[in-house]
Amino acid sequence: MSTLENLSCPIDSAPLQRCERSLICQHGHTYDLAKTGYVNLLPVQNKRSKDPGDSKEMVTSRHAFLNQHHYQPIVQAILSSWPKENLHNGVRILDAGCGEGYYLSEIGRVLSDQGINAERMGLDISKWAVTAASKRDKDISWLVASNASLPMPKERFDAVLCLFGFPVFTEFSRVLSDHGVLLLVESGADHLIELRTLLYPSIHEYKATFAAGVPGFELLHEQAERFTFTLDSQLHIQQLLSMTPHIHKASYDGREAVKQLNSITLTADIKLRWYQKEIKEVNYV
Ligand SMILES: C[S@@+](CC[C@H](N)C(=O)[O-])C[C@H]1O[C@@H](n2cnc3c(N)ncnc32)[C@H](O)[C@@H]1O
Ligand SMILES: [Zn+2]
């Protein structure tokens, strides 16, 4: 069951207590649970736009695409590369920018088959994404919140996952326990290259992100994952396109060319990087 435990008030950082279908801080700030069980901890003053994050349409498309399990090899790669000493019974996992919840849900299912019980929390700035996630899996605590200001105390988690998302390293470091790990998953140079070749007149040179390292973290392990999958209808092709930024960036001619397809075989080219939180040395004099 989702517990929504050990969270902080986004206004004053005071601990939140569960009282039936609300979370309340000692100063009386109250956050009601939505019908589907998630809680919105994104105060209006922290919103940069009225409807931040992925739109309802993007979330619907991502949900339909991920439910076809073409990206199941990514779930397997995450689990097989997870640092072994971190993956113990009771491990506390945060998915920061969880989208519609596919990965965190699948990770929990596989871990539970292996006899590992994980406490899982997923958050996203998009209320559409969190609504979909909260319908997908009732065993996970789901929040609307921003990576820029995580509504939870320090050292709350043993692992933070940021999959195709927007990392905020100071916040990730704060909420990780000593020896906690961070996973970044990003697309590599050839990701969906067949589609991008149709969409753009030329392909930009690939630039690796965080090549110079990540502040506050030490790289433990880096891995590339490559596989192919086939989409066999125009609907499935449009669903994939609509969950990516290409839907807005591609040229008119490119999008028209993709509308002519009935099937396409695509390369998935993914980078996984595991980091460990750097522990600051204390100098005793
Ligand atoms: C490309 S999607 C990836 C979603 C999910 N991790 C997946 O792989 O299916 C990026 C997600 O980050 C969310 N997002 C954008 N800015 C955010 C922020 N500041 N804090 C948390 N989530 C954010 C978006 O709403 C969107 O759901
Ligand atoms: Zn408060």
155 in a known ligand binding site:
no
**Contact present, 41 and 143 (Cβ < 8 Å):** yes
Report the nearest atom of ligand 1 relative to the CA of 53.
25
- What is the predicted pLDDT for the residue at 212? 85
The CA angle 179-147-104, to the nearest 5 degrees, is 70
31 in a known ligand binding site:
no
Which of 70, 124, 163 has most ligand 1 atoms within 8 Å of its beta carbon, as the pocket-test mutant?
A: 124
CB-CB neighbours of 248 under 10 Å? 7
Q: Which fold has domain 17-46+53-203+212-277?
A: Rossmann fold (3.40.50)
Q: Nearest ligand to the C-alpha of residue 71? A: 1
Q: Does residue 240 carry a pLDDT above 90?
A: yes
Smallest CA separation from ligand 1 atom 10, residue: 165
CB neighbour list of residue 74: distance below 8 Å, 6 or more residues apart? 103, 163, 185, 225, 268, 270
Residues lining ligand 1, Cβ inside 6 A: 53-54, 62, 97-99, 102-103, 124-126, 129, 146-148, 163-166
- Mean pLDDT score of the chain, rounded to an integer? 94
Q: Does residue 285 carry a pLDDT above 70?
A: no
Which of 67, 164, 244, 272 has most ligand 1 atoms within 8 Å of its beta carbon, as the pocket-test mutant?
A: 164
Summarize the confidence of residues 77-105 as an average pLDDT: 97
**Contact present, 147 and 238 (Cβ < 8 Å):** no
pLDDT digits (tens, 9 = 90+) for 109-134: 999 999 999 999 999 999 999 999 99
Q: Nearest ligand to the C-alpha of residue 97? A: 1
Summarize the confidence of residues 228-235 as an average pLDDT: 98
Smallest CA separation from ligand 1 atom 1, residue: 164
25 in a known ligand binding site:
yes
Q: Nearest ligand to the C-alpha of residue 100? A: 1
- What is the predicted pLDDT for the residue at 258? 95
- Half-sphere exposure at residue 256, Cβ-oriented, CA atoms within 13 angstroms: 3
Summarize the confidence of residues 90-103 as an average pLDDT: 98
pLDDT grade for 284, boundaries at 50, 70 and 90? low
Report the nearest atom of ligand 1 relative to the CA of 148.
19
Gap between the terminal Cα atoms of the chain: 48
